[in-house]
């Protein structure tokens, strides 16, 4: 088409119709566990992945003892 790429719907018009947000939540999974388990308040909480047992979320108490993120829980 005359050397121009044409796409439908036009990208510029499509992007102006949507709003994207990025929300960064500190210790998200550990915080969620504390909501459902109030007995964990002020205790170290480390959340592990399902398949390999690696730490995917750490509370501030776990961070203070320098336990690594992404490392296996041993």
CATH number at residue 40: 3.40.1170
In this structure, is residue 19 part of a structural domain?
no
* Cα(62)–Cα(69) distance, integer angstroms: 10
pLDDT of residue 13: 56
- How many residues would you count in the chain? 74
In this structure, is residue 54 part of a structural domain?
yes
Q: How many domains does the chain have?
A: 1
In this structure, is residue 12 part of a structural domain?
no
Half-sphere exposure in the Cβ direction for 62 (13 Å, CA):
21
* Cα(48)–Cα(11) distance, integer angstroms: 40
In this structure, is residue 10 part of a structural domain?
no
pLDDT of residue 39: 94
Pair 56, 47: CB distance under 8 Å: yes
Domain residue limits at 55: 25-74
Dump pLDDT digits (tens) for 4-56: 555 555 555 555 666 667 776 778 888 888 899 999 998 999 888 887 888 88
- Give the bridge partners for 58, in sequence order: 46
Residue 19: phi and psi, rounded to 5, are: -120, 125
């Amino acid at each position: 088409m005359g050397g121009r790429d044409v796409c439908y719907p036009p990208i510029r018009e499509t992007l102006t119709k949507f709003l994207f947000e990025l929300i960064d939540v500190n210790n998200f999974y550990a915080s969620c566990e504390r909501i459902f388990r109030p007995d964990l308040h002020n205790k170290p909480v480390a959340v592990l992945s399902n398949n390999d047992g690696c730490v995917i979320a750490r509370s501030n108490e776990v961070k203070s003892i320098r336990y690594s993120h992404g490392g296996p829980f041993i």
